[in-house]
Amino acid sequence: MALSCSRLCSQLSLVRLCSLRTNRAPTHGLYSRYVSRQSRWPLCKHYSSSKVRLGLGRYVASTLQWANTKYEGFLKRRFPRFFRLYHTFMEGFKLLLQDGKAMKDIKIKMADGVKFQDLPYRDMEKLRQFRRDLIKAIPLMMISIPPFANYLVFVLMYFFPRQILIPHFWTPSQQVEFRGVYHSLRAQHHRPVLKGLEHASQKVSAGHLQSRLKDLCAKVQSGANPSLSEILAVRSLFSGPPLGMKRMCVNHMRHISPLLFLTPHLPGFLISRRLNSHALELLQLDRALIRLGLHQLSDSELRQACYVRGLNSDVLGIDQCRDWLSQWLQMSSSLKESEVSLLLHSIVFFSANYPHGLSRH
């Protein structure tokens, strides 16, 4: 026993000497020759500190993965509803990290001198959506800061997923359901916007433009879809008074704001600035989409593009969505930045009765 212990101690001392050698031991004298001779031994060769750390890291990672698999299996068997919530949260967190990495790359491009309007369509859309998601996620992040508050977050996620969570953490069925809810809230403002246009038409001095605007509003209210030429015929009214971005009355702007999912409960000057900013952003998105080409969009991207512009695309076929978006881009491509007010009102003109209107072109 004493012999084996002394042999073990001698081997351990050799390992220690090898580790000292890797920590920049002196390179001269008898000690240097001794250490260099011992470093060629198999024991030091196969058990270097870097390889030990690597093996330990792999062991810890595999152990955590095994424990996580067991935990998910336990949740799936015993608490299936909670498991769906947990699984959705984890997948959403991965997507959020991916979007964060993509955002970093986009910001690097912009720091190198690329302007927002020059970004590719997908980068522009991701940047726009990420900003909105971040604003909505900030309150939830603040709630989760105190100790043990994550339990409260899970409760809120379970009972108020639409109000609390961003789309990353919605299930596929919830995405369809919640988009339908938000669209119904948006559609409630279609008629007030049309009423506001009728009221504004009384301030139009040119008789032919006044009659055209009234006819356009009456056609939409009757359940028909106006043609592109009928919409563009009144474009001059949306660059100056009474319907330009800086000429609209505050009450009318408060009904337009929910069309873009913006709160109307702000002072008038802030509502005007936000509407103008979002309208220009939407116009730049349209131009980027035209550069990309409508045929380059996947089905999900196509539906999302239609939804952003006012259409409940989840209840329509993909060909209907493509036809509608093509009409929208034809209108948008002919507008100047001073006419972006018409772009916002076209959310009502194009989507209020589609596809069940009396005419489609």
- Secondary structure letter of residue 295 according to DSSP: G
The whole-number pLDDT of residue 69 equals 73
The whole-number pLDDT of residue 52 equals 61
Confidence band for 76, pLDDT divided at 50, 70 and 90 = low
Nearest to 18 by CA among 38, 2, 46, 42: 38
In this predicted model, what pLDDT tens digit does every residue of 296-333 receive, in sequence order? 999 999 999 999 999 999 999 999 999 999 999 999 99
Cα within 13 Å of Cα(325), Cβ side: 28
Q: Which residue has the higher pLDDT, 83 or 316?
A: 316
Q: How far apart are CA 51 and CA 191, in angstroms?
A: 70
Ordered DSSP codes for 178-244: HHHHHHHHHHTTHHHHHHHHHHHHTT---HHHHHHHHHHHHHHHTTPPPPHHHHHTTGGGGSSTTTS
Q: Mean per-residue pLDDT for 34-57?
A: 52
Exposure string (b/e) for 144-157, b if CB count within 10 Å is 16 or more? eeeeeeeeebeebb
Cβ(179)–Cβ(197) below 8 Å = no
Is a pLDDT exceeding 80 seen at residue 5? Answer: no
The whole-number pLDDT of residue 305 equals 97
The whole-number pLDDT of residue 133 equals 87
> Which of 80-89, 131-140, 215-224 has the highest average model confidence (pLDDT)?
215-224
Give the number of other Cβ atoms within 10 Å of residue 56's Cβ: 10
In this predicted model, what pLDDT tens digit does every residue of 100-135 receive, in sequence order? 899 999 999 999 999 989 999 999 999 999 988 888
200 burial type by CB count under 10 A (0-12 exposed, 13-18 middle, 19+ buried): buried
Is a pLDDT exceeding 50 seen at residue 360? Answer: no
